[in-house]
Amino acid sequence: MAQDLRGALVGFCNPLLDISAVVDDNLLSEYGLKANDAIMADEKHLPLFQTLIDKYDAKFLPGGSAQNTLRGAQLLLPEGSAVFFGAVGKDENAQRLKGAADEAKLRTNYMVHPDKPTGTCALLITGHNRSMVANLSAAEKYDFSHVKAPENWKDIEAARFYYITGFFFAVSPDTIEAVAKHAHENNKTFTMNLSAPFVAEFFTAQVEKTLPYINILFGNETEAEALSKALRFDTSDIKQIAKRVADKPRAGSRPRLVIFTQGASSTVVASSDSDEVRVYGVKPVPHEEIGDTNGAGDAFVAGFLAEYLQNKPIDICIEAGHWLGGQVVRQVGPNYPEGELKFVPSGTFAPAVERV
């Protein structure tokens, strides 16, 4: 009998409308940006958004890291499996975001701020790299009072899996703490993503406070290195970082899984209940088929969670993540292919196993 997954997955992040454009290195230099990074906009970055619209072939795309992830997961899951929380304005951009979610059959539970515009994210594409500059606006006004309202908390109680990005530490740490503790107290699965290097750098205390409750932690290699530095591990070896994070103290007896992607190179997986670290090769996407890499990490988590919710083995979850990430890098922007998406395990996908 198939599982009942209605409302099983709840996610939190900043819903943002992406303004995406292919640019040159001069624009990055003008605004002090790196080619492959994610930052919050400050005063000097605000003109950038209009510059992309006025001077470049800008495209408007539905975004926000966890909303992208839950859209992808929902495309692979039975209708009604996922619910997304975040804050938006009462404007056309909010309707664009909701429309994209509706197309994927993703249910949204937005906190609406009528006096703030919906947040935006500038995506500057150079080659296969992307630099992200987020202007949160309404998104940063998400408040714990929204989720703790009885009509909204019932979604938390109904869910069995939770996914929150590290970006949310800057917005509503109270929400993260409440959901993490609820998951722990009710033997549910709480997952997070490091999201960007600045999260580990500037929110170290919050990361350390939350880590005991995290059952699965996602990140990429640069985020892993930033976390290693923040936790004073004194190593840049991704496998060692993954294992040391997995072995950090836990609030309960459930093992912790740490998953670090490394683009087209490999994915590293460590667990607190094993001395071995698994390294999964990535099937490369032909260069001529690549649109850009924006959204690949979000798609990886989407593929992983879609299989994990269905109790599939970790090898299959990782393979699904690689597959869906590969689908997204063939698009321009954080988009999923049109038409039905269906993952079929190869039956031959297996990691190299190492001790660290």
Output b/e per residue, 285-309; b: 16+ Cβ within 10 A.
Answer: beeeebbbbbbbbbbbbbbbbbbbb
CA distance 135 to 71: 21
- Name residue, tokens 């040391």: 244
Residue 142 pLDDT greater than 50, yes or no: yes
Q: Please tell me the predicted confidence (pLDDT) of residue 129.
A: 82
pTM across the whole model = 0.92
Catalytic residue positions, numbered? 298
The topology (CATH level 3) of 9-16+63-118+136-355 is UDP-N-acetylmuramoyl-L-alanine:D-glutamate ligase (3.40.1190)
Higher pLDDT: 332 or 260? It is: 260
**pLDDT tens for each residue of 261-306:** 999 999 999 999 999 999 999 999 998 898 877 789 999 999 999 9
User: For residue 324, what pLDDT band results from cuts at 50, 70 and 90?
Assistant: very high
**DSSP symbols for 145-201:** HHHHSHHHHHHHHH-SEEEEEGGGGGT-HHHHHHHHHHHHHTT-EEEEE--SHHHHH
Least Cα distance to 203 among 186, 226, 237, 179 occurs for: 226
pLDDT for 2: 61
**Position 46 confidence tier, pLDDT thresholds 50, 70, 90:** very high
pLDDT tens for each residue of 13-43 = 999 988 989 999 999 999 999 998 889 999 9
